[in-house]
């Protein structure tokens, strides 16, 4: 694509950090591939997510939010594994090169990248429908990753932060709200990946997953992988700021149960570990709220979820 | 996207290989992310490439070829670094789920994946303009990667295989040829990443790059990174099978100089190492042909390339 080299040099390379010990990068962007030095006695954790215009974000979403969001949703997978974020790669597809747009997109992306102490180690820019695919790489001491399959009957179920903000923010967007300072809209457009919480939960949690498709759907994956069930306390669900005011109590709870794009962690842990975990997350300024218990019998009890089988991401008018 | 889980389970997971020592994978697809164990005393090599319909491949390209090609072009970056391929991630965007199409695409992708002894460790399937973004990860003993910046005046310049096949195959496609047994068309649609050659050239080559944008363009990057120039012998360029018959001698040489999508390696190496390298590649069934020499003075001499500044990938009618 015409201008690819210039784009990469200008917007990607400058913030990739210097090769060196801190970044774990021994050869930075500019060759056929980057070289990195993994930490000894660690496992690598990798994941990829694509965000497509009209599917995962509206056409008129602010580019800065899009850059932030594209990395945050991938980073959330590292959070769910308890991994230390290290490196990322970005594949950006654009209908045309609008320098202003790219600059703002890069600003949002790099803000999240810097905050997570990650280094961008690869990129590609192509022409087509606007979309961005982000690969994230993290590290975790061998054997210490949080997984989906470790929940045991009797474990407490808890969530970080608050739920329903993704769905509430999307509803606000549909209603024409555009102020990113609005808590709900920010929850949708500028999600915060809970990677610090993931690190703090290592050694405490028996299982974890991030809430990208809705609490019930994602908790369902965790329970299935662990061969257990759950009883939830619907009244205990922490609701995102402004959600009840915006949607009313019932719809707010529904959003918390089935809304997507929250990017909180739902965690199973022995009750003896819960207080330590809550204190550790409080030090990060993050709530950690018990919402139920793991049961030996399968299925999810305590909430009426039969009518709400799952979350559909943002869809444009055509789908 | 509706059907994503089913698609991933059916077409991606079955061939991801069993977690275990050989694959370096300790936790396979099915959690928030995979876990891998990097080899000690090795550097990680990562790269990402996106192929977009209408830009990098025609709309009616056979899905099997597209799956093959999407991985091969990323793998070619590992080849250029002399890395052992290990793991890959695939982000696939489709306008709709056509199971037949996906099955054939997966077949092409996995054939390359298996041949390179790679394990697929992550995937995402989304809805939108057809595109595929592939991240590849390889390993190289620390300090032994082939780089662009090591060429020295006096080095021999050589290329693997033959050149111009990518451009010749594209021309054949435009003319309506659809027989993948045709050598030229196969060179365009089913490129062979030279990762085995890359491994064999470790310790022999002083610099290497893969030819994706045309010999002159990519050699130019290598020379610039090394702070040197080159004198080429245009008559020595190895031409792809069928190229002269299809295009005539002059256009064939032009295709070899500026045609893209060849995915051969262009290599600088001390003349004392050339014969050993040639023999090592001959054992792989691969030609290794000297095409010139590295010079202290910058620029590329010996070919008339001023009128051909670079290669444009396949473009649909609109661009």
> A187-217, pLDDT tens digit by residue?
999 999 999 999 999 999 999 999 999 999 9
Chain B positions in Cβ-Cβ contact with residue A26 (cut-off 8 Å): 43, 142
pLDDT of B319 above 70? no
Residue of B nearest to A124 (CA): B49
CA distance A103 to A12: 10
Q: Are B273 and B180 in contact (CB under 8 A)?
A: no
* A4-141 and A156-301 agree in CATH topology: no
Polymer length of chain B: 319
* Least CB–CB distance from A128: residue in B38, B49, B52: B52
Which one, of A180, A178, A182, A184, lies nearest residue A165 by Cα?
A184
Tokens for A250, please give them.
């019932």
pLDDT at B23: 81
CA distance B109 to B69: 8
Chain B positions in Cβ-Cβ contact with residue A313 (cut-off 8 Å): 1
Please report which confidence band the pLDDT of residue B12 belongs to, taking 50, 70 and 90 as the band edges: low
pLDDT at A99: 85
pLDDT of B59 above 50? yes
- CATH architecture type of domain A156-301: Alpha-Beta Complex (3.90)
pLDDT at A19: 64
pLDDT of B257 above 60? yes
Q: Give residue-wise pLDDT tens across range A157-170.
A: 999 999 999 999 99
**Beta strands A229-232 and A300-301, pairing class:** parallel
Which one, of A88, A235, A8, A86, lies nearest residue B47 by Cα?
A88
Question: According to CATH, what is the number of the domain A4-141?
Answer: 3.30.1330.10
Chain A positions in Cβ-Cβ contact with residue B209 (cut-off 8 Å): 32
Tokens for B259, please give them.
């045609």
pLDDT of A15 above 90? no
- Residue A311 marked in a binding site: yes
Q: Extract the runs of DSSP E, i.e. beta strands, from chain A.
A: 25-27, 34-36, 42-52, 84-94, 119-127, 131-141, 156-160, 207-210, 229-232, 265-269, 288-295, 300-301
Please report which confidence band the pLDDT of residue A98 belongs to, taking 50, 70 and 90 as the band edges: confident
Q: How far is CA B47 from CA A98, B50, B79, B213, B241, in A?
A: 25, 10, 11, 16, 30
Exposure string over A18-43, b if 16+ CB within 10 A, otherwise e: ebeeebbbbbbbebbbbbbbbeeebb
Please report which confidence band the pLDDT of residue A27 belongs to, taking 50, 70 and 90 as the band edges: confident
pLDDT of B314 above 50? no
Q: Torsions phi, psi of A271, nearest 5? A: -60, -30
* Least CB–CB distance from A33: residue in B26, B47, B54: B47
Which of A53-57, A210-214, B36-40, B135-139 is the least confident region?
A: A53-57
Verify whether the Cβ–Cβ distance B31 to A56 is below 8 Å. Answer: no
Q: Which of B32, B80, B202 to probe by mutation at the A interface, max A CB count within 10 Å?
A: B32
Please report which confidence band the pLDDT of residue B31 belongs to, taking 50, 70 and 90 as the band edges: confident
pLDDT of B27 above 50? yes
Place of tokens 């995962």: A56
Q: ipTM score here?
A: 0.89
Q: How far is CA A176 from CA A68, A186, A251, B58, B254, in A?
A: 21, 14, 19, 39, 55
CA distance A272 to B113: 45
pLDDT at A203: 97
Please report which confidence band the pLDDT of residue B99 belongs to, taking 50, 70 and 90 as the band edges: confident
State the DSSP code for B266.
Answer: E
* Three-state SS at A300: strand
Q: Torsions phi, psi of B24, nearest 5? A: 70, 10
Percent of chain B whose pLDDT exceeds 70: 88
Q: Which of A56, A121, A133 to probe by mutation at the B interface, max B CB count within 10 Å?
A: A133
Please report which confidence band the pLDDT of residue A12 belongs to, taking 50, 70 and 90 as the band edges: low
pLDDT of B11 above 90? no
* Three-state SS at B222: helix
Domain ranges of chain A: 4-141, 156-301
Verify whether the Cβ–Cβ distance B209 to A43 is below 8 Å. Answer: no
pLDDT of A319 above 50? no
Verify whether the Cβ–Cβ distance A35 to B127 is below 8 Å. Answer: no
- Residue A138 marked in a binding site: no
Residue B136 Cα, gap to closest chain A Cα (Å): 10
CA distance B13 to B28: 8
Q: Torsions phi, psi of A95, nearest 5? A: -65, -30
CA distance B285 to B268: 20
Chain B positions in Cβ-Cβ contact with residue A140 (cut-off 8 Å): 35
* Three-state SS at B146: coil
Q: Give residue-wise pLDDT tens across range A101-144.
A: 999 999 999 999 999 999 999 888 899 999 999 999 999 999 99
pLDDT at A316: 38
Chain A positions in Cβ-Cβ contact with residue B45 (cut-off 8 Å): 33-36
Q: Give residue-wise pLDDT tens across range A239-279.
A: 999 999 999 999 999 999 999 999 999 999 999 999 999 99
pLDDT at B213: 92
* Three-state SS at A117: coil
pLDDT at B317: 34
């Amino acid at each position: 694509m015409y201008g690819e080299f210039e784009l990469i040099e200008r917007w990607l390379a400058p913030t990739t950090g210097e090769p060196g010990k801190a970044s774990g990068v021994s050869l930075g962007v500019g060759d056929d591939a980057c070289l990195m030095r993994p930490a000894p006695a660690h496992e690598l954790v990798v994941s990829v997510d694509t965000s497509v215009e009209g599917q995962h974000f509206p056409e008129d979403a602010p580019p800065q939010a899009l850059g932030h969001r594209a990395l945050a949703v991938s980073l959330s997978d590292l959070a769910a594994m308890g991994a230390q974020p290290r490196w990322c790669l970005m594949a950006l597809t654009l209908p045309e090169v609008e320098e202003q747009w790219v600059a703002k997109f890069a600003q949002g992306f790099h803000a999240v990248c810097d905050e997570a102490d990650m280094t961008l180690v690869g990129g590609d820019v192509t022409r087509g429908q606007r979309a961005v695919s982000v690969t994230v790489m993290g590290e975790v001491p061998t054997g210490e990753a949080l997984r989906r399959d470790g929940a045991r009957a009797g474990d407490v179920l808890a969530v970080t932060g608050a739920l329903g903000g993704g769905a509430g923010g999307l509803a606000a967007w549909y209603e024409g709200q555009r102020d990113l300072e609005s808590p709900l809209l920010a929850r949708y457009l500028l999600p915060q990946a809970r990677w610090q919480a993931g690190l703090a939960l290592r050694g405490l949690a028996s299982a974890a997953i991030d809430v990208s498709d809705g609490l019930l759907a994602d908790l369902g994956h965790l329970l299935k992988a662990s061969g257990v069930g759950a009883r939830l306390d619907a009244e205990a669900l922490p609701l995102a700021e402004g959600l009840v005011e915006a949607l009313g109590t019932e719809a707010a709870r529904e959003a918390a149960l089935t809304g997507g794009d929250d990017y909180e962690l739902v965690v199973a842990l022995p009750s003896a570990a819960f207080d330590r975990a809550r204190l550790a997350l409080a030090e990060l300024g993050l709530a950690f709220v018990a919402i139920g218990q793991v049961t030996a019998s399968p299925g999810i009890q305590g909430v009426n979820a039969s009518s709400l089988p799952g979350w559909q991401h943002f869809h444009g008018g055509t789908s």
